[in-house]
Structure 1
Amino acid sequence: MKKLDLQEIRNKLDEIDARLVQLFEERMVLCRDVAEFKISTGKPVYDGEREKQKLEAVRTQAHGAFNSQGVYELFTQLMIMSRRYQYRLLGEHGMCLDMGFTMVESLKRDGVKIVYQGAEGAYSHCAALQYFGETADVYNVSLFEDALIEVEKGRADYAVLPIENSSAGAVSDNYDNLVKHNLYIVAETQVAVNHCLLGLPGARLSDIRQVCSHPQALMQSSEYLNSHREWRQISSVNTAVAAKEILEERDRSHAAVASEISAKLYGLQVLKRGINHNKDNVTRFIILARDPVYRKDAGKVSICFEGLHKSGSLYNMLGNFIYNDVNMVMIESRPIEGRSWEYRFFVDVEGSLRDEAIQNALTGISEEAVSMRILGNY
């Protein structure tokens, strides 16, 4: 038997690939027919048991372990593409996921009350004034979760919550708080972080033996703080609270990492400015409200979801964004309480709930995930 040269092999591969493309298109026509049947009967697109049976069947038709696994993966992707196509057809028939959100021209600002966590001078305080204005009616509570409860109970219209820092990463507790409380992200604002080392009037750097602040602030200033090995680092609930404690303790060996605004508010001395090692350090704050609304000019959607606890689950979820050409800008995971080594994922994508691509992507995720929740469009 004559041995084929490379070009002849490639020509045969091209012939097979052309047939595969033709067969793929024929398959997608049938998938359209399936979608139209499901649209008329109200049946869901995703049938996990049917797919499982189909994948096991095609696996047994291949010869050898390598081909068997390859066929399994190939048909997994074929079925995923079929579902994506069917979700798009559902959207064209106005049968996308009911988002439950209302579009508004702008957020209500007159006569509103805004709550933040921490004391006066905290970065959350700065964020509230930055977004709502210097004359805004703001007040503070002790804990992050307390701020959410204030809005849930109707005592405040908005809560301002830090969610992410450009150098220290996610504020993990607040991702968990988003799941625990039924509030919606309606806006965000970013505050440049410029940490200072604050001490009592007359104190010198050589006097300092203990430094307290919020764990994020200590982390963001770790290079400077760790260069002073004799300093003990103590966590506090908030940067401004740490500054206030320095004033109350009246101990010249104690210092706080906080903003320069805190120094002015509490009559403290700035011992060192700009001690955070990342000079482009920025904290992102989200604005939370009770009602599921989004502004007409909103350009970011935040969701959280739980996938099936099996190989490829996250990949398949995120594939809904890829197929619909939706750009993902952030992903964060958090452990699911009571389920060891299982995780809930938080994702931010560019777009609006009005966009067909966003609607199709979220419909797909909601069909295939264990659970999904839209946290906001802002």
Structure 2
Amino acid sequence: MQSKNDLLHFRSEINTIDTNIVKLLAKRKKLVLNIAQSKIKNNKPIRDKKREESLLNELTKLGKKNHLNPSYIKNLFELIIEESVLIQTKMLQKNYHYESKNTPNTNFSFLGPKGSYSHIAMLQYIKKSKIQYTEKEFFNFEEIVFSVENNISDYAILPIENSCSGLIDEAVNLLEKTNLFIIGEIKISINHCLVATKNTKVNNIKNVYSHPQPFKQCSNFINRFPQWKIQYSKSTSSAMKKIVRLNSNTNAAIGNEISAKIYGLKILLKNLSNKENNTTRFIVLSKQPIQFSLKIPTKTTLIFKSKYNLKNIFNKLNEKKIKIYEMNNKLEKTFFIDIKDNILSNIAQNTIIEINKISNFLKILGCYATGNIITENK
């Protein structure tokens, strides 16, 4: 029977091994950074699938010889490899520059007023992209798209998808018709709040103002108050401006904390979304597409129409990188597709070939660098 001292000894040995594993991972990371610099210098791609497969095969064989489960070794080193790819990708993105109209006079259109989710997303995108800009606020999606089409602005930002309510139909319909291209995206976390003027209490509220999207995303909360009258606004920030102007303790709005601070409103309740991790994906539009290196992680977005069943197409392609959205139930349905790869990749090209066989309308909306989720500033 093992004594308590034996147990402490074994645990101490495990602690030493774990410490050495972490130190070895840190040493590995330094080598990965050196490899990334070499790849940038020699214009080599980040991933080498053949090497990864060969490495995993050798390591699982070694694990088996040492009485370790091959699946355990495979899963462990897949995680390590993915971390290495992420490290190299971040370094590559820092070193990658492309020509664009990033001049001091660059105009950027968004759904206003200031403080709206679109405004927040635009500011975060600009911060991330280091664009020098001038803001131009508009009050509906059509005006935003029109501003770029007619050279009033250089770029525009539109919400395209929400994790609670799905694709935003109005934005997708405009993408089908416009000659603009998607050149970037960014995701921000959404924290819908119920806000009102200083003396308002929840029990006094009769009217709630907001853009239609927050009402969809907070439907579970809204349904708890059937006596409230829903009032639609052009944006969450315009809803707040309106309740400030009306100055009544029977009115409230749904929007973000930043706008509430801008308009001097009190936050009555937070986290109203149907889902905890509510995010909205925004796309950036321009008249000119951008060509990205195959080394940069990119996404290709398409839209097409078809009356045929798409199941056979995507069974044939059998790709996990393809995400498809069905827009409506008409005879000829509209489909919106994201492919997590460059438009020049085999996956994207094969998808386009297969879609062309069953569609008389296919439009490539853009190939662009994939975005990160940005936590909303508090």
Larger Rg: 1
Query: Which residue number in structure 1 is paired with residue 51 of structure 2?
Result: none
Maintained 8 Å contact 2:324/2:335: no
Give 1:320 deviation, angstroms: 6.0
Maintained 8 Å contact 1:128/1:160: yes
Query: Which residue number in structure 2 is paired with residue 315 of structure 1?
Result: 311
Distance 1:315 1:229, change over 3 A: closer
Query: Which residue number in structure 2 is paired with residue 163 of structure 1?
Result: 160
* TM-score (normalised: structure 2): 0.66
- Residues 163-202 of structure 1 correspond to what in structure 2 (within 5 A)? 163-202=160-199
- Which one of 240, 245, 248 corresponds to residue 248 of structure 1? 245
- Which one of 291, 295, 303 corresponds to residue 294 of structure 1? 291
Query: Which residue number in structure 2 is paired with residue 205 of structure 1?
Result: 202
Maintained 8 Å contact 1:128/1:138: no
Three-state SS of the structure 2 residue aligned to 1:283 is: strand
Query: Which residue number in structure 2 is paired with residue 72 of structure 1?
Result: none
Runs of 4+ in 1 over 6 A off after TM superposition: none
Query: Which residue number in structure 2 is paired with residue 303 of structure 1?
Result: 302
Query: Which residue number in structure 2 is paired with residue 265 of structure 1?
Result: 262
Maintained 8 Å contact 1:104/1:295: no
Q: CA RMSD for the aligned pairs?
A: 2.2
Counterpart AA for 1:283:
T
Maintained 8 Å contact 1:113/1:156: yes
Structure 2 segments unaligned to the other structure (5+ residues): 1-95, 369-378
Maintained 8 Å contact 1:303/1:373: yes
- Which one of 103, 108, 133 corresponds to residue 110 of structure 1? 103
- CA distance in 2 between counterparts of 1:177 and 1:317 reads 26
Counterpart AA for 1:163:
I
Question: Residue by residue, what CA displacement relative to the aligned partner does 1:236-277 show, whole Å, maximum 9, x if unpaired?
Answer: 221111111101111210100011111111111111222223
- Residues 62-211 of structure 1 correspond to what in structure 2 (within 5 A)? 105=98, 107-111=100-104, 112-133=106-127, 136-211=133-208
- CA distance in 1 between counterparts of 2:209 and 2:266 reads 15
Three-state SS of the structure 1 residue aligned to 2:291 is: strand
Give 1:326 deviation, angstroms: 6.5
Give 1:317 deviation, angstroms: 4.4
Counterpart AA for 1:119:
P
Query: Which residue number in structure 1 is paired with residue 333 of structure 2?
Result: 343
- CA distance in 2 between counterparts of 1:320 and 1:151 reads 38
Question: Residue by residue, what CA displacement relative to the aligned partner does 1:80-110 show, whole Å, maximum 9, x if unpaired?
Answer: xxxxxxxxxxxxxxxxxxxxxxx98365433
Query: Which residue number in structure 1 is paired with residue 365 of structure 2?
Result: 375
- CA distance in 1 between counterparts of 2:328 and 2:112 reads 24
Structure 1 segments unaligned to the other structure (5+ residues): 1-102
Distance 1:298 1:290, change over 3 A: farther
- CA distance in 2 between counterparts of 1:158 and 1:332 reads 27
2:350 is the counterpart of 1:353: no
Counterpart AA for 1:303:
L
Distance 1:317 1:306, change over 3 A: farther
Counterpart AA for 1:341:
L
Maintained 8 Å contact 2:195/2:260: yes
